Structure 1
Amino acid sequence: MQTYTDILRTYMAALGRSDYATITGLFATDGRVRSPFLGEMPAVPFFERLGQASATNVIIPIDIFLSAQDKNHAVAYFQYDWTVRDGTLISFKVMDLFRFRPGTCEIEYLDLIYDTHPIRATAGDKYQASAQPQPSAPAP
């Protein structure tokens, strides 16, 4: 049987491979994600948006923390080197707080915790940029 630690290791490895199908497969069917950039939304559309905004992901695991109160929580702490579609590299540390469906290893809720100020100051809102229509090339 898988443990919360196994799930978080699988999540970080899949995120590093941009394997969003594996990630969404870890969630309960009604699982949700809260992001500082995108707010709260169902997991599948969130990871679709991440895939549209991303060129590559490099994940450097730092640690995994488990609840000291026998709750269904765990935290993945990692360095995220995110290259977005326009080639901008954005590096930041993340603490992803997972809440699991009781009695299972299905992710019920994922709360992404990171400081957006340095990201917005240097790179802007890359989710917003990926949603904008791309200018067409001038006619020859």
Structure 2
Amino acid sequence: MSGIDTAQYAARLTDYLQALEQSNVDGVVALFAPQATIYSPLLGWVSPASFYRKLAEASGNSKITLLDLFHSSQGSRRATAYFRYDWVLKDQSTVSFDCVDVFDFNADGLIEKLVIIYDTHTIRADLGDRFSPD
């Protein structure tokens, strides 16, 4: 992935979304570089392992619907997934929202930075303290 290859980005993002939907922590974390960071609107900057472990512990059978994929038009190793997340929590309550995840890749095609973007206003009200920082 040292050059911009949109097919590889699409495949990597599809793998990511499938592993995320399945709460496959090991599968998701394997897509990240060792020193990768994630920005979550609810948790701030976190490591992939801690973020996906916490998410799996809080989640039930969630559903992800891919809406579109985008790649950088500026020549950077960046791609974006736009999707609907019907997040089912362990208590079976559901929080649904549209989300944009912005991925920066390293030269080996691993994710080195992920910025998660969504409107947290209604989600915070629905979640309460069920997915708050430790």
Q: Calculate the TM-score normalised by the size of structure 1.
A: 0.86
1:115 alignment counterpart: 119
Residue aligned with 1:45, SS = helix
Deviation of 1:121 (Å)? 2.1
Q: Which consecutive residues of structure 1, in runs of 5 or more, have no partner in the other structure?
A: 132-140
The Cα of 1:107 is off from its aligned counterpart by 0.2
**Residue 120 (structure 1) shift:** 1.3
Q: Structure 2 residue aligned with 1:26, among 31, 37, 55?
A: 31
Letter in 2 for 1:46: F
Q: For residues 1-140 of structure 1, what are the structure 2 equivalents within 5 Å?
A: 3-101=8-106, 103-128=107-132
After TM superposition, the structure 1 stretch with the greater mean CA deviation from structure 2, 119-128 or 75-84, is 119-128
Aligned length: 129
CA-to-aligned-CA distance 1:13-38 (integer Å, 9 cap, x gap): 11111112111000001111110111
Cα deviation, 1:79-121, whole Å, max 9, x if unaligned, reads 00001112110100000000111x2210001100000001112
Contact 2:80/2:102, CA 8 A, preserved across alignment: yes
Cα offset, 1:74, TM superposition: 0.4
TM-score by length of structure 2 reads 0.90
| Identity rate, percent | 38
Q: Which structure has the bigger radius of gyration?
A: 1
Conservation of the 8 A alpha-carbon contact between 2:78 and 2:105: yes
CA-based RMSD of the aligned residues comes to: 1.6
Q: State how far apart, in whole Å, the 1-side matches of 2:89 and 2:79 are.
A: 27
Where 2:20 maps in the other structure, the secondary structure is: helix
Point out where structure 2 has 5 or more consecutive residues left out of the alignment. Answer: 2-6
Q: Which runs of 4+ in 1 moved over 6 A?
A: none
Whether the aligned pair in 1 keeps the contact of 2:43 and 2:132 (CA below 8 Å) is no
Separation of aligned partners in 1, 2:129 and 2:86: 16
